[in-house]
Structure 1
């Protein structure tokens, strides 16, 4: 497939998902703010179109603006999410018409892409600018999916249940000491914070073979984990008390049994599915209670990419091929994490499962640039967030699209956030005596 066909296919595939998420509700739901943590769905929709216009119509295409008068309304840095409902936003019909007009112009730009690479235009090399916009829209699709999870009312989204576990998975996997190549310098659509590839020497450690499950997390709750300050950091304990945390978001007790509400449907938790909707502080407290810790970012990526047989770093745990439904729970194909052991084809060479998809995994590392980092194509994608109050998340979730998820992809958020599809796995350092 040529670059024009690839770009057009990905743009169209992504837009179909945006349509599913916005067409599922009526206009009143589109303009309503379902949580102060989230924008109204209609803002996300028009913002998607505005970013596409800024980069692909005006910058890459050199065309006249479609709606320059609305740029300030859809600038995420100018307006906090809680304030966006008060803005004079495009209404649903106007937003849909706007994104359609922008897309028509973008497809014309695609048709005129040069067949041969132009080294003088880095922004369009290998279709990068188009890939950046595809990933941006998919990221907002996942954000809109999280908004759907927070909305009240009858269920409006549906999907097939995830596959059952195909193989027993448990315990921990030893990752031997040694260097590996972290990040990438060759992935065509990788974003600036994933670059450049660099060598990292990682001491030996053990990491969970699968994410922490609902049953494991319920044991932490039942053991009084939320009531014992010893398991929490000072900041984590302060947040637990002030926010009144007692269980993962959307969990409730019913007759002594834990239930979870998922996109408007309440049912008993699935014991062997990864726990979801926990914040960094909850994940770290669980790890401390279990006598373990959260992995560092380098540890997570080595577990996900390093091939001990060849010494090279793969694109994904299973190899370099793009993910399919055999490898991982991605792309809103299902609306919940799959039980551990459901994707044996997606395991790493050393036997670490479900590193990609199901739940974003909290990492005990701050969001910092790699050695040799260079902002591209704009500082506001990554650079302005470095060194802030952010913790890393890796691996993607059931709501993450394959275009916005790979072994090098880096996500970040505030450690108190749990409306996102976040879970975790634990790790521990390994002493030399254990390796003897």
Structure 2
């Protein structure tokens, strides 16, 4: 039975997929997306170029200190805000993906009438396939779980860390999103929620589907998160 997106207005958590409907097709301009999440080493180069600010360093949190340790160079950068993620992508010549672009990367070119629950297909995720469900309990080097791969060879869309996307979270956005290049909700609304996509090392498989839409309150995003990173996209010529 299809979920009712109206229920999301009262409580975004009332149904795990009430904000994923109605299913519809949109057209996107050509874009390229990074194969993996931005790493500590990549982000550190932006800091060294004085174009990015340092991630947060909460006292007593080991993962916050790893940014400065070379053995964690290939781990996804975390403890950054969306503003910091946007600054990095701009420095790297790109931007954050829209929700639609992220989902296109995860779903591939499968038509709407073809089921694709996870980036790799419909096979159930497990600890050998993706870094989810506290199987490891912390981020791992990008690409280490090579079973977490989309049809377009994009890695870690289902797990490792959640990912920032652009726009604001609106549970009813799919009802009114434009057919061409939907940018995401342009206003924060009363809830002031920022959208995130993909699962993380700490979440179950229900958060790892290609259609799952997550959200985090703006206040929490400013405080930064240990399981939230990002990847960038670039717009390409053509459609």
Are the aligned partners of 2:165 and 2:197 in contact in 1 as well (CA < 8 Å)?
yes
Q: 1:216-260: CA deviations, max 9, x gaps? A: 01111111123xxxxxxxxxxxxxxxxxxx4112389xxxxxxx7
- The structure-2 alpha-carbon separation of the partners of 1:408 and 1:291, relative to structure 1 and needing over 3 Å to count, comes to same
Classify the secondary structure of the residue corresponding to 1:428.
strand
Superposition deviation, residue 392 in structure 1: 1.1
Superposition deviation, residue 290 in structure 1: 0.8
Classify the secondary structure of the residue corresponding to 2:164.
strand
Superposition deviation, residue 344 in structure 1: 1.7
Are the aligned partners of 1:196 and 1:370 in contact in 2 as well (CA < 8 Å)?
no
Greater length-normalized contact order (CA 8 Å, ≥ 6 residues apart)? 2
Structure showing greater radius of gyration is 1
The whole-number CA distance in structure 2 between the counterparts of 1:422 and 1:411 is: 11
Are the aligned partners of 1:212 and 1:423 in contact in 2 as well (CA < 8 Å)?
yes
Pair 1:276 & 2:78 matched: yes
Superposition deviation, residue 370 in structure 1: 3.5
Pair 1:359 & 2:156 matched: no
Classify the secondary structure of the residue corresponding to 1:416.
helix
| RMSD of aligned alpha carbons | 3.1
5+ long unaligned stretches in structure 2: 4-12, 177-187
Pair 1:349 & 2:151 matched: yes
Q: 1:409 aligns with which of 207, 212, 222?
A: 212
- The structure-2 alpha-carbon separation of the partners of 1:277 and 1:264, relative to structure 1 and needing over 3 Å to count, comes to closer
Counterparts of residues 260-275 of structure 1 (less than 5 Å): 261-262=62-63, 268=69, 270-275=72-77
Classify the secondary structure of the residue corresponding to 2:201.
coil
Q: 1:391 aligns with which of 180, 194, 211?
A: 194
Partner in structure 2 of residue 201 of structure 1: 27
TM-score, length-scaled by structure 1: 0.44
5+ long unaligned stretches in structure 1: 1-118, 124-135, 137-188, 227-245, 253-259, 374-384
Superposition deviation, residue 386 in structure 1: 5.4
The whole-number CA distance in structure 1 between the counterparts of 2:118 and 2:202 is: 18
Higher helix share: 1
- The structure-2 alpha-carbon separation of the partners of 1:370 and 1:345, relative to structure 1 and needing over 3 Å to count, comes to same
Q: 1:250 aligns with which of 57, 69, 83?
A: 57
The whole-number CA distance in structure 2 between the counterparts of 1:411 and 1:420 is: 16
Are the aligned partners of 1:305 and 1:313 in contact in 2 as well (CA < 8 Å)?
no
Superposition deviation, residue 326 in structure 1: 2.5
- The structure-2 alpha-carbon separation of the partners of 1:286 and 1:326, relative to structure 1 and needing over 3 Å to count, comes to same
The whole-number CA distance in structure 2 between the counterparts of 1:197 and 1:388 is: 23
Partner in structure 2 of residue 81 of structure 1: none
